[in-house]
Amino acid sequence: MRGANTYLGSIGTTIFTVMSALATEHGSINLGQGFPDTEGPADVVKAAADALKDGRNQYPPMPGVPELRKAVAAANKRFYGLDIDGMTEVTVTSGATEAITACLMAVLDPGDEVVLIEPLYDTYVPVVRMLGAIPRIVRLTPPHWELPRDALAAAFGPKTKAILFNSPMNPCSKVFTADELAFIAGLVERHDTYAICDEVYEHLIFDGLKHIPLMTLPGMRERTMRIGSAGKTFSLTGWKVGYVTAGAALTPLVQKAHQNLTFTTAPNLQRAVAVGLGKDDAYFASLARDLQDRRDLLAKGLASVGFSVLPSHGSYFVTTDFAPLGFNGDDVAFCRHITEKAGVTAIPVSAFYDDPDAPRHYARFAFCKRPEVLEEAIARLKRHFGH
């Protein structure tokens, strides 16, 4: 039989699926794939259940139900002071994963270049390549993950169509500063490009830091596509409801991409997410505070096991350097080893690099779990590493 798609034939199954399957096989505590182990807010779940029973179960409007588009616009105003028209500037997608693809499709032609920042979320490079575009990757270096401004400026050129980046950032939990964002905005404007901003962890931010959407910076309103995820904001990752906020000129293109990807998203979930986005400020504050406590618990515990724990300012994750434990092997071997022998699963950070010479002594642990689960994971690692 003739070969099918060459590129897909050349890549592996996503690390999140691989490690979750391994965790299940070995009955280990899964601190790999990032998902909470408790339900999201009861009122939001109830709104979804109720919405199933009121006779609106046929295809919702392609761009999203009006309730949710308006709620996304209102949240943009409430949290960031952005004036957004929900009916012309918001698109609801089936998760941020679809949103990322739709935004890339909205602006890229084959041969265009896209600036990406490594470590990067695992769908970015495959989607850019499948669209016939060319990734130009700039690397952040641990432990501080500072933006290498000269390298970033050098990555922009005449063929650059867009930059795609993530803040707060998975896996390294960096939150881009106002100064770094201003630098990026300068490049975007100077090179007349677009910015795709993966802001799925916008509300999962710690230590009193504030999330700043690039879209709020001068000159960025019409150039930016800002992506959110109900999965993260409401701890309901299985729902796969995402949203894109973009200018009125770009939005029809995002929607034409969406109409050719999934066309629409389950109506009851959309309506429930609209209820969620209307929750009071206390909900959003306690979401971040609660996760910050869990970050502290896990970071302290991993340090007591002997890991060198890197700072985490947002997202679900803490990155650790396992070199001090004296393990003889790379990060993939390490994550497999602790799954099989210690009963705790993590994600090898090299999975977030496109480059074979990625760093190979970092492992990412998720802290979006119940405290007793985190404590048991720490106890298992301590037992295994002999402290």
How near is the Cβ of 16 to ligand GLN at its closest, in Å? Answer: 3
By beta-carbon proximity to ligand GLN, the closer residue of 167 and 170 is 170
Nearest-angstrom CA–CA distance, 281 and 78:
9
By beta-carbon proximity to ligand GLN, the closer residue of 156 and 165 is 165
DSSP structure string for 242-308: EEEEE-TTTHHHHHHHHHHHTS---HHHHHHHHHHHTS-HHHHHHHHHHHHHHHHHHHHHHHHHTPE
Nearest-angstrom CA–CA distance, 346 and 34:
10
How near is the Cβ of 251 to ligand GLN at its closest, in Å? Answer: 25
By beta-carbon proximity to ligand GLN, the closer residue of 107 and 299 is 299
Buried b (16+ CB within 10 A) or exposed e, 299-329: bebbeebbbbbbbbbbbbbbbbbbeebebee
By beta-carbon proximity to ligand GLN, the closer residue of 171 and 276 is 171
The type of residue at 351 is A
How near is the Cβ of 46 to ligand GLN at its closest, in Å? Answer: 25
By beta-carbon proximity to ligand GLN, the closer residue of 33 and 235 is 33
Length in residues, the chain: 387
How near is the Cβ of 33 to ligand GLN at its closest, in Å? Answer: 4
CA dist 324 → 202, 306, 328 (Å) = 32, 6, 11
How near is the Cβ of 170 to ligand GLN at its closest, in Å? Answer: 5
Q: Which two tokens stand for residue 180?
A: 């770094």
Of the candidates 120, 124, 172, 211, the one whose C-alpha atom is nearest the C-alpha of residue 316 is: 172
Nearest-angstrom CA–CA distance, 328 and 100:
37
How near is the Cβ of 34 to ligand GLN at its closest, in Å? Answer: 3
By beta-carbon proximity to ligand GLN, the closer residue of 140 and 275 is 140
3-state secondary structure 20-56: HHHHHHHCCEECCCCCCCCCCCHHHHHHHHHHHCCCC
By beta-carbon proximity to ligand GLN, the closer residue of 33 and 245 is 33
By beta-carbon proximity to ligand GLN, the closer residue of 31 and 309 is 31
How near is the Cβ of 169 to ligand GLN at its closest, in Å? Answer: 11
DSSP structure string for 161-178: EEEEEESSPTTT-----H
How near is the Cβ of 120 to ligand GLN at its closest, in Å? Answer: 11
The type of residue at 171 is P
How near is the Cβ of 188 to ligand GLN at its closest, in Å? Answer: 25
By beta-carbon proximity to ligand GLN, the closer residue of 190 and 370 is 370
Q: Which two tokens stand for residue 119?
A: 């470590």
User: Which spans in 56-200 are helix H?
Assistant: 66-80, 86-89, 95-107, 124-130, 149-155, 178-190
Q: Which two tokens stand for residue 30?
A: 């899964």
Of the candidates 96, 365, 34, 385, the one whose C-alpha atom is nearest the C-alpha of residue 245 is: 96
How near is the Cβ of 253 to ligand GLN at its closest, in Å? Answer: 25
By beta-carbon proximity to ligand GLN, the closer residue of 12 and 386 is 12
Q: Give the binding site for ligand GLN (CB under 6 A).
A: 16, 33-34, 170
Place of tokens 């096989």: 25
Contact 138, 120 (CB under 8 A): no
